Structure 1
Amino acid sequence: MRAIFNECLRFNVDNVVVMLELDKMKFGFYTYQVFAEVYCHQDENIQIVHFNTFFNGSLEHDRLFSRHLHDFHGCPLLICLELGYPLLGFHGNLSDPQDLQNIHLVAGIEGDLLRDLAKAINFRVKFSISKERGVIGEKNYSTGCFAELAAGKADLAIGCLSSTDGLRHVFSYSLSYYQSLYVFIVRSGLHFGPIKQLAQAFCANVWQAIGACCIIGMIFIRFITSCTSSAVCEKLVGQRKHSDSTNLIVVMMGNPIKILPRRNCARLLLRSWLLATLVLRNAYQAKLFDSLRISKRIPIPRTISGLEAQNYILVTDKYVEFYPSNMTRIISNITQRYRMVQQSERERFITTSMLDTLAWHNRQNWKTSCLTYIEEPIYNVQISMYFKKHSILRSIFDYRIKQLSWGGITSYIGEKHVKKQFQVMNANSQHRPVISSNMLRGLYMLYAMLMAIACTQFALELLARRSSSVKRTMNWIHYVGRK
């Protein structure tokens, strides 16, 4: 009989009854227990139990099968932990055997759930901490806690394990007791100050084109006035004394020219420049008012396709099918990935994680975190614990998890550890209804800069009356022609 029960245990069949004839017309019903006060599964022992008798045409007890497993009688379970806040953490010494048997040192959502389960079905723990990420592989190619399950070194694995894994059929898994969205994590819109907000009206290429035109025009005017005769100079750019190259900037800022050129060629050039600056000023003014209505953060994409279009680099622990591999960098440590995204002021980095992991991180770093998420989710993660294939432990754990879920315990634990208001931090609204005085600080600062330049130039003019070197410098700036 013991050999029969050992074979049943090897195939993970717990509800087994053996009927044995004890005497004439008397039969005994026997089953086995792997968790009892004396025998525990880890000792590779079983206890044979005589639970019923058939005699004189009737059963001693009104049941054909013994009661299902509902109490572990304080036996230890080998549990592999895969740490990851806010789901599962460990506050003890990872190398101390005593700490690895203390269930009160686990923390997080799954840590609280594990303590409730241990209290409900009366088991002790022997933890092992996985140092690598658990990945389910065909045959014997699993890693992390899944490798320990496959090798029989663990009875169950817990910690950020998803029941939606493509190879989940290799093991048995419990009912899902928690779920969270899997999303792209990105740094919230980069902050830019008043001066950068003024420059935001035009992109960098437009400002470069404007600067190039001004520089080329100034060089052209200064070359004509310096290297040609007065007749040629007046024909091309106007009178020598009044063809200062700074007139280009003066006209572009909207100020008038007191003396106009007399030749048609010079007038045509001036008219073209006036028309170009008029269009430029109107376009800038329109885009400036539009940019002033945007909050002081450069907006981020709202969709996955927007991330690809703006060439965001994904940092993750493996290549994924929902993002181009040529725009992916492999980094295993999630803390390092979060840090790279947080510090990505010049390069555009993103990463992926559960939304609740982001909320926990932002809560821990609420003064400094600038991380947010893309509103378009990737998929929904269902969290479960894993067992060996066809494990006899699965049914009792499922029953207790179902009871905790019906009682609202699992929901309470999730809300206790994850504060939803920390999911998005430092992210202002993308539009403001009115233009406030605070938005116009850039204009005030620009006006102050221009007044400072004007006062400095006036002071230099006064100083030029007493210093010949300053006078020569000012004459060169305004280009007073030789007599």
Structure 2
Amino acid sequence: MFIVTLQLKSSHGFCVVMLLLLLTVPSVRNLSIMQNVNSTTAHTAAAIRDIVLEYYVRHSQDFMLTVHMKSRHALNLASDLLSQLLPHLSAIKVQIETINTTIRSTYNRKHNLILIDDVEALRELNPAKWTKDYDFVELYLLYILQNKSLTVRNNNLIDVFNYFWHNSITHNVYSCRSVSVKILNKYNGTWINDLHKVQNIFPAKLLNLNNCTLRIALWHTPPYLSYFPNKTGMERIDHFEGELIKVIAKKLNFSLEFVVPPNDERRGLIFDNGTTTGAIKLLKTHVADISLGCFRLTLERAKILTPALPYHQTTQVYSILLSNRAYTSLEILSFPFDELTWSCICLILLVMFFTTTFIQYSFHKYKSRRTMLGNIKTNSKFIDIFATSMLENIKTNSKFIDIFAVFIGSSIKKAPRANFARCLFFFWCIYGLTLRTAYQSLLYKLLETDLYRSPPRCIIDLLADKYKLVMLKTTFDSVKKETYIEKGLIDVIIQHSTDDLNPFNYLVLERNIPLAAVSPLDFLALYESIHRKHETFYVLPEIIFSQQITMYFKKHSYLTDRFDKILLQLRSQGLINYWAQKSFLQTMFRKHKNAIVKPINLSHVSV
């Protein structure tokens, strides 16, 4: 009868096996083993009790106890053991199950005690099956009852190790799976080394992977990651996430093997029927261990993969093509005044036209005509109401042309003689000068700044201007809960592509259609840089949401916990921000300006 305490942070976490003989296991991770030489049921129960109280009670309110014995004799021994053990575990809740009871996946499997009589019973019990879809780390205390020789026991231990390794390593690198047993403590009524002082029964592992190879699924996706394959076998990665994974590999001492998703699928897609493509499929099928390359942290991906802690943040934004907002020549000429002001100006000119015409043909025999027109002696009968004609003594049938000439600032050669006419002429000149000055200044301001209409500021403006949204399928999955998108109030064009720059290319090709791209801000900056088009796009001030960038592992990966600790260290040291600033280009697209040139209206010129 023996107990093995081996620790494996694997697809089912840490495992401790208590054994009758203390051995050592050199491996990718140290496996801790404890033995009781004079094994009795009382001693075994006391040893298990001490470990449970020392390590389980401190971190949990309950633990799972699973029993599966192939022989009747071992089952009787297990019953005797439990009868002596359970009365001493009143400080923690114990959930008991057997192979014949309903075994279910639950978060309560973080702390486990498993009683078996041989390795075949462990395989039938298959504890990894019930935790493989979770991301938490488990602790296992495995207790094996048998009466076989020591040699047989060692063979059993190797089989136990192989079971846990099989559920830990994602690809077949057998050289990194060699194990040997290391003595941590002994129990013979008392512990040789005090449990409070001895190294933790569940010590931290994965401190050194001994240059084992981890497969990285990646692709060329600057500015996050640049991948340069070489026909001679020398491959190189660069940019932000390339520097990150190289530093982690150096800290944990593992080598890198790069795997590129086939058919340029990159991150891949998750379809409604459960099938996957790209890097997601490579991780799910254990072809790759890690994948990175601007991988967004999303709920859909986290359901089938295990994400690391996010280490970078960008924003999801709306962007439009500025050429769609360009003014026409007529709009530029009419920009300085709004519609009401232009209407009033036109109305005044029409009134002047009809008034002059009426006076010329209806009051030519009366003194009122001379009073209003002034004592002008000319063959034209009526040259000007407020000013002389542009050319003196020129006959013209259109008196309105003369009025309009003074309004637009033409020079005059002779002023009216009558005082009242001169007064009207003066006010008409001041009125024309005020409007011309305002018009010219605002037109100059427009030409100096930009030639684009005021762009939309939010999705409501996009909806009002009848814009359509263009985005990738992966982007749609992350924004589909937005109110206007979820309710179908705005049209959406979904592209089933893996090219992150495809929405911007689509906007350029369909420039005559009001379209808005939905994409991370960093990719828009990259597009502007590649095509060298300064201020081609306008980014709406409204931010959809901030998105987290991370790397992914296969579900319930043994690497996650150690990677998270290193990422936290690098973030606290500022190295991740430093690499990001080096890799990300300065944004070249137009940002929202607080000062916007607005047309003048009547309230601005009123006295």
TM normalised by structure 1 equals: 0.62
Query: Is the 8 Å Cα contact of residues 149 and 157 (structure 1) preserved in structure 2?
Result: yes
Does 2:575 correspond to 1:393?
Answer: no
User: Which residue, out of 310, 320, 327, partners 2:491?
Assistant: 327
Aligned twin of 1:71: 208
The superposition leaves residues 217-259 of structure 1 with CA deviations (integer Å, 9 ceiling, x where unpaired) of xxxxxxxxxxxxxxxxxxxxxxxxx997x88877666589xxx
> What is the one-letter code of the residue matched to 2:209?
F
Unaligned runs of 5+ in 1: 212-241, 257-278, 436-483
Find the residue that maps to 2:548 and give its secondary structure: strand
Q: Distance in 2 between matches of 1:83 and 1:349?
A: 27
Aligned twin of 2:241: 110
> What is the one-letter code of the residue matched to 2:288?
A
Q: Distance in 2 between matches of 1:252 and 1:336?
A: 54
Aligned twin of 2:64: none
Aligned twin of 1:442: none
Task: Give the CA RMSD over aligned residues.
Answer: 4.8
User: Which residue, out of 37, 43, 63, partners 1:24?
Assistant: 37
By how many angstroms is 1:76 displaced? Answer: 1.1
Q: Distance in 1 between matches of 2:272 and 2:173?
A: 27
By how many angstroms is 1:44 displaced? Answer: 5.9
Aligned twin of 1:237: none
By how many angstroms is 1:380 displaced? Answer: 0.8
Alignment of 1:297-308 (within 5 A): 297-298=451-452, 299-308=454-463
Aligned twin of 1:424: 589
Of structures 1 and 2, the larger Rg is shown by 2
Q: Distance in 2 between matches of 1:286 and 1:345?
A: 34
Unaligned runs of 5+ in 2: 22-35, 45-152, 347-394, 411-430, 601-607
> What is the one-letter code of the residue matched to 1:98?
G
Aligned twin of 1:88: 225
Q: Distance in 1 between matches of 2:582 and 2:192?
A: 51
Q: Distance in 2 between matches of 1:143 and 1:203?
A: 55
Aligned twin of 2:254: 123
Aligned twin of 1:315: 470
Aligned twin of 1:161: 295
By how many angstroms is 1:173 displaced? Answer: 0.9
Aligned twin of 1:54: 186
User: Which residue, out of 318, 321, 332, partners 1:187?
Assistant: 321
The superposition leaves residues 314-373 of structure 1 with CA deviations (integer Å, 9 ceiling, x where unpaired) of 222235534556633334344343234357664333212211222333344555452231
Q: Distance in 2 between matches of 1:288 and 1:347?
A: 33
Query: Is the 8 Å Cα contact of residues 362 and 425 (structure 1) preserved in structure 2?
Result: no
Q: Distance in 1 between matches of 2:592 and 2:536?
A: 8
Q: Distance in 1 between matches of 2:243 and 2:401?
A: 69
Aligned twin of 2:507: 341
Which moved further from structure 2: 17-26 or 169-178? Answer: 17-26
The superposition leaves residues 187-237 of structure 1 with CA deviations (integer Å, 9 ceiling, x where unpaired) of 347555987622435799x99xx99xxxxxxxxxxxxxxxxxxxxxxxxxx
> What is the one-letter code of the residue matched to 1:140?
G
CA 1:308/1:193 → structure 2, altered by over 3 Å: closer, same or farther?
Answer: closer
> What is the one-letter code of the residue matched to 2:179?
I
Alignment of 1:195-234 (within 5 A): 197-201=332-336
CA 1:283/1:191 → structure 2, altered by over 3 Å: closer, same or farther?
Answer: same
Alignment of 1:279-290 (within 5 A): 290=442
Q: Percent identity?
A: 24
The superposition leaves residues 33-85 of structure 1 with CA deviations (integer Å, 9 ceiling, x where unpaired) of 9999xx97632643333121416544466442344222221111122125432
Q: Distance in 2 between matches of 1:145 and 1:372?
A: 32
The superposition leaves residues 140-164 of structure 1 with CA deviations (integer Å, 9 ceiling, x where unpaired) of 3233211222222121221121223
Q: Distance in 2 between matches of 1:426 and 1:173?
A: 32
CA 1:125/1:165 → structure 2, altered by over 3 Å: closer, same or farther?
Answer: same
Does 2:296 correspond to 1:296?
Answer: no
Q: Distance in 1 between matches of 2:535 and 2:521?
A: 15
CA 1:282/1:352 → structure 2, altered by over 3 Å: closer, same or farther?
Answer: same
CA 1:426/1:159 → structure 2, altered by over 3 Å: closer, same or farther?
Answer: closer
CA 1:82/1:375 → structure 2, altered by over 3 Å: closer, same or farther?
Answer: farther
CA 1:396/1:247 → structure 2, altered by over 3 Å: closer, same or farther?
Answer: farther
Q: Distance in 2 between matches of 1:65 and 1:186?
A: 55
> What is the one-letter code of the residue matched to 1:134?
G
Query: Is the 8 Å Cα contact of residues 501 and 527 (structure 2) preserved in structure 1?
Result: no
Q: Distance in 1 between matches of 2:296 and 2:520?
A: 11
CA 1:340/1:62 → structure 2, altered by over 3 Å: closer, same or farther?
Answer: closer
CA 1:62/1:72 → structure 2, altered by over 3 Å: closer, same or farther?
Answer: closer
Query: Is the 8 Å Cα contact of residues 138 and 167 (structure 1) preserved in structure 2?
Result: no
Query: Is the 8 Å Cα contact of residues 539 and 591 (structure 2) preserved in structure 1?
Result: no
Aligned twin of 1:43: 172
